[in-house]
Structure 1
Amino acid sequence: MEQQLKRLSFSGLGLGLLMLAVPDDAFAMHIMEGFLPPLWALAWWVLFLPCLWYGLVRLRQIVQQDSHQKVLLALCGAFIFVLSALKIPSVTGSCSHPTGVGLAVILFGPGVVATLGAIVLLFQALLLAHGGLTTLGANGMSMAVIGPVAGYLVWRLARKSGLRSDVAVFLCAMTADLMTYFVTSLQLGAAFPDPQSGAAGAMAKFMGIFCLTQIPVAIAEGLLTVLIYDQLTKRQLITARGI
């Protein structure tokens, strides 16, 4: 079992490293370095740090309970890294991309995703010029905290409602993806209010921009997450369950 997980993890990491060699413009959903005003960047960091601390505590608890979970955690981290690095052109010079957090949310809950997401965002900022260090707190809150929590709530609700596991997985991954962009729109709208319609108007404009490409991306991510979850279950690398 562990060998199979290692092969899957190394395959994902290998694909991610291969992507580093492919030049690409650094337009992306992640708010880029220096884009947010200093006070907003600091405020999001202050909010993100307690979530990151809790994620580290959960990560330690999971590993202490079962050391074999390390490889599965690595697989989830690789899945987040690869999917969130797949940038799809959107409008106004921005890009859409999947987030990949749904799988980790389902297997380990939303707490640990804060740590996995922070690691992914740090590497992408340093190696891909995708996001930034000053904006990592804001990006972390949207992609690694609020998005995963929303996906987790949908997952729990779907399982309690008696929906099939594949439907619940799809809804979880899609919701986490869409919520990430919803929060990013709120972050940008609050930091850069529209001169006429204010922050609310700016938020609505950002949402309209991202929705053009993000809805199909979220659907595709949901389907891919279902395939990965199904394969892990069939290979008995995980047990289908509602966490």
Structure 2
Amino acid sequence: MHIAEGFLPPMQAAAWTAVAAPFVVHGGYAVVRQIREHPESRLLLGAAGAFTFVLSAIKLPSVTGSSSHPTGTGLGAVLFRPPVMAFLGTVVLLFQALLLAHGGITTLGANAFSMAIVGPWVGYAAWRVTRALNAPASVGIFFAMFFADLSTYCTTSIQLGLAFPDPTSGVIGAVAKFLSVFAVTQIPLAVIEGLLGVLVFRVLRRVASVELIKLGVLDRRRRRAGDFEEEEADVVP
């Protein structure tokens, strides 16, 4: 998904940066507010950023000028909401561009828009829908991770299609071609990422249930007055 340095036309690269910038700035304020209101969540916030960094650094060759990999943004979107991930995801992409030559500076706005903005919002929407349907939390996490991943690649395909329209079928044909190439690697990766997200969330429910309750992700249930039992904690939409 990381579009390589200099691969997009300058005007399009600048346009994607302009579109992504307000989301990232708002996300920065959301992170500051999150730390101020819930200082105990700083470790969990850092873990969400690290999770995204590690997963999205797993690079597989794909379309020329881009790559396939998990994104890891769906879990952070569920824990901290999409605005926070807009900032964290952009920081992750910046460090990867500078340290790993994964992505680029001129294409940072385009990559941020697809992975740090569209992906988290779509993943969070999937989480809310599954919870509204009273699906188990594990199902919600799976679909949040799955759709955050796939929507990122759909967005990247559109970005590449706009930059390199097909000579005969135009932008639509180019987008379809990019989607078909990405699908070979990305659909299996999205499934694996969803399963990994379920495992990580189950661990978090055991080791960080108090923090998750304060964040509003878990709902404390009491079977007896004044007595909280961890296994009674459930997930709220």
Q: Please give the TM-score of this superposition, normalised by the length of structure 1.
A: 0.86
Question: Which structure 2 residue ranges, 5 or more long, are not aligned?
Answer: 219-234
- 1:26-105 to structure 2, matched below 5 A, reads 29-90=1-62, 95-105=67-77
Residue from 129, 137, 144 that aligns with 1:172: 144
Distance in 2 separating the partners of 1:32 and 1:141: 15
Q: In 2, Cα distance between the equivalents of 1:79 and 1:174?
A: 15
What's the counterpart of residue 154 of structure 2? 182
Contact 1:110 1:149 in 2 (8 A): yes
1:203 aligns with 2:175: yes
SS in 1 for 2:58: coil
* CA distance, structure 2, for counterparts of residue 98 and residue 218 of structure 1: 7
Is 1:152 matched up with 2:124?
yes
C-alpha distance in structure 2 between counterparts of 1:37 and 1:92, whole Å = 15
Cα separation, partners in 2 of 1:58 and 1:202, compared to 1, 3 Å: same
Match of 1:65, as an amino acid? E
Number of aligned residue pairs: 215
Asked if 1 retains the 8 angstrom alpha-carbon contact of 2:127 and 2:140, the reply is yes
In structure 1, the residue matched to 2:227 is none
Gaps of 5+ in 1: 1-28
My pick for the range that moved more, 127-136 or 228-237, is 228-237
Q: Deviations over 1:68-113 (max 9, x none)?
A: 1111110000000000001134465853100000110110110100
CA distance in 2, matches of 1:143, 1:236: 26
Partners of 1:192 and 1:93 in 2: how far apart? 11
Range with bigger deviation, 91-100 or 38-47: 91-100
Does the 8 A contact of 1:85 with 1:97 survive in 2? yes
- Secondary structure of residue in 2 paired with 1:34: coil
Name 2:230's counterpart in structure 1.
none
2:82 is paired with a residue whose SS is coil
Residue matched to 1:229: 201
Identity across aligned pairs (percent)?
52
- C-alpha separation in 1, matches of 2:67 and 2:97: 15
Matched, 1:220 2:192: yes
* Superposition TM-score, scaled by structure 2 size: 0.88
Distance 2:44 2:106 in 1: 30
User: Which residue of structure 2 aligns with residue 116 of structure 1?
Assistant: 88
> How far did 1:202 drift?
0.3
Deviations 1:209-237 (CA, angstroms, capped at 9, x unpaired): 00011000000000001100100002244
| CA deviations over 1:175-204 (Å, ceiling 9, x no partner) | 000000000000000111011000000000
- 2:4–2:65 contact (8 Å) kept in structure 1: no
Please tell me the root mean square deviation across aligned C-alpha atoms, in Å: 1.3
Q: Is the 8 A contact 2:7 2:65 kept in 1?
A: no
Which residue matches 1:4?
A: none
Structure with larger Rg = 2
Q: Deviations over 1:137-192 (max 9, x none)?
A: 00000000011101111100110110000000000000000000000000000111
Q: Answer yes or no: is 1:242 the counterpart of 2:236.
A: yes
